[in-house]
Chain A
Amino acid sequence: QVQLQESGPGLVKPSETLSLTCTVSGGSISSYYWSWIRQPPGKGLEWIGYIYYSGSTNYNPSLKSRVTISVDTSKNQFSLKLSSVTAADTAVYYCARGIFPGNPLSPYYFDYWGQGTLVTVSS
């Protein structure tokens, strides 16, 4: 059974960089699209982006200038960095495993999720 676990600081100061790591256990990090999704308190889900195990990335255009997702296959981990954060970046951040089914009709989607970690941006 694949499990994902987010880790990182729960409090980040405005203008600083948010850094989170997701550790994958129970399966290899190869051949999937490792994704980050966030959810501000009381609001809906927002896709942040993904990284393929080989290193190619795809980001939400609204966050692209501030987001970097990286992968460390030797540690079965992938990471999120979000720079110049403001209070609007306060959210529960989820990591998830993404799959491309290979059918042109099928978008890439998420089958396993971490439990999520709350990151608060405040001085």
Chain B
Amino acid sequence: SYELTQPPSVSVSPGQTARITCSGDALPKKYAYWYQQKSGQAPVLVIYEDSKRPSGIPERFSGSSSGTMATLTISGAQVEDEADYYCYSTDSSGNHRGVFGGGTKLTVL
């Protein structure tokens, strides 16, 4: 089965840049999406189609993708950005089955 791989944790100080990676064999053929999940809350979409930002998401959130790796970047991370982040995509077989990465805990302190 298809897998998306993320680092379990990333830690930065406030104001620093946080980068969270997601690797998957199908990412050259399928866009990556990024969800933010704060403690006790439902996930919220922060990046879609590799690099697009939904309305209402701060500009410090950006995304990129190259080859088999997608990256979520938070420029000037704030304390309120502390959360779990999940990448999401599907494989390239056309079966349209959703796959989440294992999640990355971002600590900002």
Is B76 engaged at the interface, CB distance under 8 Å to the other chain? no
Q: Name 22 interchain pairs, CB-CB below 8 A, sorted by A.
A: A37-B98, A44-B101, A45-B35, A45-B37, A45-B43, A47-B99, A60-B97, A62-B1, A105-B29, A105-B30, A105-B31, A106-B31, A106-B49, A107-B88, A107-B90, A108-B90, A109-B98, A110-B45, A111-B45, A113-B44, A115-B41, A115-B42
Q: Are A58 and B97 in contact (CB under 8 A)?
A: yes
Interface residue count for B (Cβ, 8 Å)? 27
Binding site for B on A (CB under 8 A): 35, 37, 44-47, 50, 58, 60-62, 94, 100-101, 103, 105-111, 113-116
Q: Are A109 and B48 in contact (CB under 8 A)?
A: yes
A7 to B103, CA, bound (A): 26
Contacts of A111 in B (CB 8 A): 45
Contacts of B107 in A (CB 8 A): none
Contacts of B42 in A (CB 8 A): 94, 113-116
Contacts of A103 in B (CB 8 A): 31, 49
Q: Are B100 and A58 in contact (CB under 8 A)?
A: no
